Amino acid sequence: MYKPLSKRPRLSFIAATLACARLMIMLLTVLLLVSCQPVSPRSALQNVLDDGVLKIGTIFGRTTFYYGNESPRGFEYELAQGFANYLGVEVQIYPFYSYQALMKELKQGRIDVAAAGDAVPDSVEQQYKLGPVYQQVSHKLVFLQGNQRPRNIDDLKEPLVVVKGSSNAHLLQQLNSSHPTLDWKTTDNKDTWELLDDVANGRLPYTLVDTNTLSLQRRQYPQLSIGFTLKRLVPIAWLMNQQQDDSLRAAVIEYFGSIQQTGIFKALEDKYFGHVRDFNYVDTRAFIESAKAVLPDYAHWFQQYATDVDWRLLAAMSYQESHWDPQATSYTGVRGLMMLTQDTARQLNIDSRTDAQSSIKGGARYVSNLLSRIPARIKSPDRLWMALAAYNIGMGHLEDARTLTQRQGGNPDLWVDVKRRLPQLEQKRYYKTTRYGFARGHEARQYVENIRRYYDTLLYLDENTDFLSARSAPAT
């Protein structure tokens, strides 16, 4: 039988419903108030750490970033990878073809850092947050040797062409006020390397270039000559978005301070630029001519026997030793393409030091032997440069130089530190404290640096020309 609810239960139900409604209103009010409070945004550094990814933009180029045969390479790439490791995050590299595209991405916050390897003119410095200055370069006007040398801006008779958006373009823009008749233009279709190629081959009268780029490019084009300097000691630094806080910038400053203190930056800079600072036009020109005319006769054997090193490095060693003359003999009695001593040839079972194939075979074996004797903790390329020094000066003298390095507070496992002490092996106050005594340390240091320069040139020739296409059958 249906019974209507009593009044008391009905009143309890209504009261309970109203109480629940009031509670819901209170909760909604609290949530609304909380949502209206300003939320502290994550810092720029915290964004990177939380996401686990560091996004770094750069420009394609030999000194910044490019894809090597096996992995990415470049001075800026290695600095970026090091910073990501320092933060404990993954690095994502965004290479661009133009400076303007790179700067646009930075301003819009789609990358964290711009590492273009380009100088930072005053007009750019005011628009971004800058990391610490880690290099300084000068801007040089270059022209083709043999043409009339321009000594100042007023001597320029034809338009000056530079890359759009680059520091060179910003510099010329600033010069417009003081030199309104200066004739210049920009291009977005070529990079600085191509403009230098055009100057070297007579297709362009002039361009501007920083000293880092010029030092490398003159190894391939010794005919590039300097007319005059437009601006000296312009800083190179990483750039960050002006609108973000200083947390990421502070981390960049800490990182560069760390690698400066540990010597990592010094070693990295030496790897890319240390061997090309000094330029010898006659030597570079002669090497390129020999690489095209003489090396093709022996390239086959360098390729065959270079098991532990790049064949082009072995060829560069041979040029330093003998200028690729199989009959070469020095006053010390070393002979052949690889200038082997009689004792070394005997140990390597080389019957004839003046036989080209045998000399290359023996030299390659000796390099492999030296590499195996360099302490395993020494990383590439330092172990390679030390092995080359030992090829010239002997393993005992190399160890003496490393001992001196350690005594003086340097790192005996870094070539950039060891090469500074090699000349001390010629000074009595130093060599009398070593195990093996006097050695021609200056010569050993120059020996390695020459080979590194020749090697750079061979890499360029082999990757960008067909200089080996005329190779005949191996010389006999």
**Angle, CA 40 vertex, CA 39 and CA 42 arms, to 5°:** 125
3 state SS of 54: strand
User: pLDDT by residue (tens digit) across 76-122?
Assistant: 999 999 999 999 999 999 999 999 999 999 999 999 999 999 999 88
Class of domain 281-464: mainly alpha
Cα(268)–Cα(89) distance, rounded to whole angstroms?
21
Domains 42-132+237-277 and 135-234 share a fold: yes
**Does position 347 have pLDDT exceeding 60, yes or no?**
yes
Which percentage of the chain shows pLDDT scores above 90? 79
Mean pLDDT taken over the chain = 89
- How many other CB atoms sit within 10 Å of the CB of residue 469? 7
User: pLDDT by residue (tens digit) across 199-229?
Assistant: 999 999 999 999 999 998 998 899 999 999 9
Range 135-234: architecture per CATH: 3-Layer(aba) Sandwich (3.40)
79 contact partners, CB below 8 Å, separation of at least 6: 115, 134, 265, 268
Report pLDDT for 35. Answer: 52
Are 296 and 304 a contacting pair, CB within 8 Å? no
**Does position 370 have pLDDT exceeding 60, yes or no?**
yes
Tell me, what amino acid is at 235? P
Distances (CA, A) of 353 to 65, 321, 348, 361, 370: 42, 13, 11, 10, 19
pLDDT grade, residue 16 (50/70/90)?
very low
3 state SS of 434: coil
Backbone conformation region of residue 310, classed left if phi is above 0, alpha if psi is from -120 to 50, else beta: beta
- How many other CB atoms sit within 10 Å of the CB of residue 338? 29
3 state SS of 139: strand
Mean pLDDT to the nearest integer, 313-322:
97
Report pLDDT for 397. Answer: 96
Residues taking part in catalysis: 321
**Domain coordinates in residue numbering, the chain:** 42-132+237-277, 135-234, 281-464
Going by their DSSP bridges, the two strands 184-187 and 160-163 should be labelled as parallel
**Does position 442 have pLDDT exceeding 60, yes or no?**
yes
Cα(49)–Cα(407) distance, rounded to whole angstroms?
40
User: pLDDT by residue (tens digit) across 63-79?
Assistant: 899 887 678 889 999 99
User: pLDDT by residue (tens digit) across 250-265?
Assistant: 999 999 999 999 999 9
Range 42-132+237-277: architecture per CATH: 3-Layer(aba) Sandwich (3.40)
Token duo for residue 457? 């040139």
Q: Which tops the pLDDT comparison, 146 or 41? A: 146
Distances (CA, A) of 104 to 43, 107, 169: 21, 5, 17
Q: What is the DSSP string of 322-378?
A: HTT-TT-B-TTS-BTTTTB-HHHHHHTT-S-TTSHHHHHHHHHHHHHHHHHHS-TTS
**Angle, CA 240 vertex, CA 235 and CA 245 arms, to 5°:** 125
DSSP state of 426: G
